[in-house]
Structure 1
Amino acid sequence: MADGIEPERLSDRLRDLILSGTDETEVLLERTQTRVVRFETAPVHERRHARPAEAARLRRGDGTGFDRLNWEAAARQQPGPGDVEIKVEAIGLNFRDVMFGLGLLPEEILEHGFAGPTLGLECAGRVERVGAAVKLFKPGDRVMAFAKSAFATHVTTPAAVVAPIPRDLAMETAATIPVAFLTAYHGLMICARLKPGEWVLIHGGAGGVGLAAIQIARWRGARVIATAGSPERRTLLASLGAEHVFDSRSGAFIEDVRSVTGEGVAVVLNSLAGEAMERSIGVLRPFGRFVELGKRDYVANTHIGLRPFRRNLSYFGVDLDQLLIDEPATSKLLMRSVMRLFASGDLAPLPYRAFDAAETGEAFRQMQASGHVGKLVVRPPRPADVCVRHRRAFQVAPDKMHVITGGFGGFGLETAKWLAAKGARNLMLIGRSGAASSEASEAVASLTAQGVRVRAEALDIADLPALTRLFARFGRDLPALGGIIHAAMVLDDSLVQNITGERMERVLRPKVAGADNLDQLTRGLKLDYFVMYSSATTLIGNPGQAAYVAANGYMEGLARRRRRAGLPALAIAWGAIEDVGVLARAEGTRDALLARAGIKGMLAQDALRLMGDALAAPAGDIDDAVVAIAPIKWGAARRHLKVLESSAYAKLSGQDEAAAETGDKIDVAALLAGSSPDEARKTISDLIVDEIARVLRLPREDVGRATPLAEIGLDSLMAVELALGLEQRFTLNAPLSTSASSFSVNELVDHIIGLATGALSEDQALKQAMVDRHLAGATVAEIDEEQVMEKVRTMKGVLH
Structure 2
Amino acid sequence: RVLVPRLVHAGAGGAGLVGPGEQPEAWRLDTAGTATLENVVPVPCPEVLEPLGAGQVRIAVRAAGVNFRDVLVGLGMVPGQTGLGGEGAGVVVDIGPEVTHVSVGDRVMGVLDQAFGPLAVTDARLLAPIPDGWSFRQAAAVPVAYLTAWYGLTGLAGLRPGESVLIHAATGGVGTAAVGIARHLGAEVYATASPGKHAVLDAMGIDEAHRASSRDLDFEATLREATGGRGVDVVLNSLAGPFVDASLRLLREGGRLLEMGKTDIRDPEFITAEHPGVSYRVYDLITDAGPDRLGHMLRELGELFASGLLEPPPVRAWPLSRAREALRYFSQAKHTGKLVLDVPAPVDPDGTVLITGGTGTLGRHVAEHLVRAWNIRHLLLVSRSGMDAPGAPELLAHLTDLGAEPRIVAVDVTDGAAVNDLVAGVDPAHPLTGVVHAAGVLDDAMVTSQTPERLARVWAPKAAAAAHLHAATAQLRLGMFVMFSSAAGVMGSPGQANYAAANAYCDALATHRQAMGLPAVSVAWGLWADASGMTGHLDEADLARMSRSGIAAMSGDQALGLMDAACWHGAPQPAAVQLDLRSLAAQPADTLPALLRTLLANGTTTRRTAATGAPAAGLVAQLAAVPVEEQHRILLTLVRTQAAAVLGHTDAGAVSADTPFKDLGFDSLTGVELRNRLAAATGLRLPATVVFRHPTPSAIAAELREKLCPAQAETSASAPVFGELDRLEAAMARLVPHDEARDRLAKRLEALLWRLTDGTPAEATGRHHPTSDDGALDAASDDELFEFIDRELPS
Question: Structure 1-normalised TM-score?
Answer: 0.54
Shift of 1:84: 1.0
Distance across 2 between alignment mates of 1:174 and 1:102: 27
Say if 1:205 and 1:237, in contact at 8 Å, map to a contact too. no
What amino acid is the match of 1:255? A
What is the aligned counterpart of 1:227 among 177, 182, 192? 192
What amino acid is the match of 1:339? G
2:251 aligned with 1:284: yes
Shift of 1:754: 1.8
Distance across 1 between alignment mates of 2:685 and 2:323: 34
What is the aligned counterpart of 1:296 among 258, 263, 271? 263
Secondary structure at the counterpart of residue 297 of structure 1: coil
What is the aligned counterpart of 1:248 among 193, 211, 214? 214
Equivalent residue number for residue 723 of structure 1: 675
2:327 aligned with 1:354: no
What is the aligned counterpart of 2:241 among 253, 269, 274? 274
Say if 2:57 and 2:123, in contact at 8 Å, map to a contact too. yes
What is the aligned counterpart of 2:37 among 48, 51, 66? 66
2:132 aligned with 1:192: no
Distance across 1 between alignment mates of 2:138 and 2:673: 30
Distance across 2 between alignment mates of 1:72 and 1:100: 15
Secondary structure at the counterpart of residue 80 of structure 1: coil
CA 1:139 to 1:50, structure 2 compared with 1: closer, same or farther past 3 Å? closer
2:307 aligned with 1:344: yes
Equivalent residue number for residue 175 of structure 1: 140
Distance across 2 between alignment mates of 1:126 and 1:794: 57
What amino acid is the match of 1:266? D
Distance across 1 between alignment mates of 2:611 and 2:309: 48
Secondary structure at the counterpart of residue 288 of structure 2: helix
2:636 aligned with 1:685: yes
Shift of 1:737: 3.3
Equivalent residue number for residue 73 of structure 2: 100
Secondary structure at the counterpart of residue 109 of structure 2: strand
Secondary structure at the counterpart of residue 711 of structure 1: helix
| 1:393-792 superposed matches below 5 A | 655=606, 664-665=615-616, 667=618, 669-698=620-649, 699-732=651-684, 735=687, 737-740=689-692, 743-758=695-710, 785=763, 792=770
Say if 1:734 and 1:755, in contact at 8 Å, map to a contact too. no
Equivalent residue number for residue 91 of structure 1: 64
| Runs of at least 5 residues in structure 2 that lack an aligned partner in the other structure | 1-10, 13-19, 350-556, 559-584, 588-599, 715-721, 734-748, 754-761, 777-795
Distance across 1 between alignment mates of 2:305 and 2:773: 55
CA RMSD in angstroms comes to 4.3
Say if 1:59 and 1:119, in contact at 8 Å, map to a contact too. yes
Equivalent residue number for residue 332 of structure 2: 369
What amino acid is the match of 1:252? D
Cα deviation, 1:477-499, whole Å, max 9, x if unaligned, reads: xxxxxxxxxxxxxxxxxxxxxxx
What amino acid is the match of 1:182? L
CA 1:367 to 1:282, structure 2 compared with 1: closer, same or farther past 3 Å? same
What amino acid is the match of 1:293? M
Distance across 2 between alignment mates of 1:797 and 1:65: 27
What amino acid is the match of 2:770? V
Shift of 1:329: 2.0
Equivalent residue number for residue 581 of structure 1: none
Distance across 2 between alignment mates of 1:288 and 1:733: 44
Secondary structure at the counterpart of residue 98 of structure 2: coil
Shift of 1:740: 3.9
CA 1:372 to 1:735, structure 2 compared with 1: closer, same or farther past 3 Å? closer
Distance across 2 between alignment mates of 1:304 and 1:244: 31
Distance across 1 between alignment mates of 2:620 and 2:267: 37
What is the aligned counterpart of 2:225 among 242, 259, 270? 259
Cα deviation, 1:566-617, whole Å, max 9, x if unaligned, reads: xxxxxxxxxxxxxxxxxxxxxxxxxxxxxxxxxxxxxxxxxxxxxxxxxxxx
CA 1:249 to 1:795, structure 2 compared with 1: closer, same or farther past 3 Å? closer
Secondary structure at the counterpart of residue 276 of structure 1: helix
CA 1:87 to 1:657, structure 2 compared with 1: closer, same or farther past 3 Å? farther
Shift of 1:200: 0.4
Secondary structure at the counterpart of residue 792 of structure 1: coil
Equivalent residue number for residue 534 of structure 1: none
Question: Structure 2-normalised TM-score?
Answer: 0.54
CA 1:742 to 1:249, structure 2 compared with 1: closer, same or farther past 3 Å? farther
Equivalent residue number for residue 93 of structure 2: 128
Distance across 2 between alignment mates of 1:687 and 1:661: 6
Equivalent residue number for residue 427 of structure 2: none
Q: Which moved more, 1:83-92 or 1:335-344?
A: 335-344
Query: Percent sequence identity over matched residues?
Result: 34
CA 1:661 to 1:157, structure 2 compared with 1: closer, same or farther past 3 Å? farther
Shift of 1:241: 4.4
Secondary structure at the counterpart of residue 683 of structure 1: helix
CA 1:319 to 1:382, structure 2 compared with 1: closer, same or farther past 3 Å? same
User: Based on CA coordinates, which of the two structures has the bigger radius of gyration?
Assistant: 1
Say if 2:316 and 2:338, in contact at 8 Å, map to a contact too. yes
| Runs of at least 5 residues in structure 1 that lack an aligned partner in the other structure | 1-39, 42-48, 111-116, 387-619, 622-644, 776-783
Q: Which moved more, 1:85-94 or 1:142-151?
A: 142-151
Distance across 2 between alignment mates of 1:133 and 1:365: 41
Say if 1:204 and 1:210, in contact at 8 Å, map to a contact too. yes
What amino acid is the match of 2:168? H
Shift of 1:162: 0.5
Distance across 2 between alignment mates of 1:687 and 1:221: 54
Cα deviation, 1:740-773, whole Å, max 9, x if unaligned, reads: 4852121111111122234699999xx9xxx99x
CA 1:652 to 1:204, structure 2 compared with 1: closer, same or farther past 3 Å? closer
Secondary structure at the counterpart of residue 173 of structure 1: helix
Distance across 2 between alignment mates of 1:79 and 1:797: 51
What amino acid is the match of 2:296? L
Say if 1:658 and 1:666, in contact at 8 Å, map to a contact too. no
Say if 1:183 and 1:209, in contact at 8 Å, map to a contact too. yes
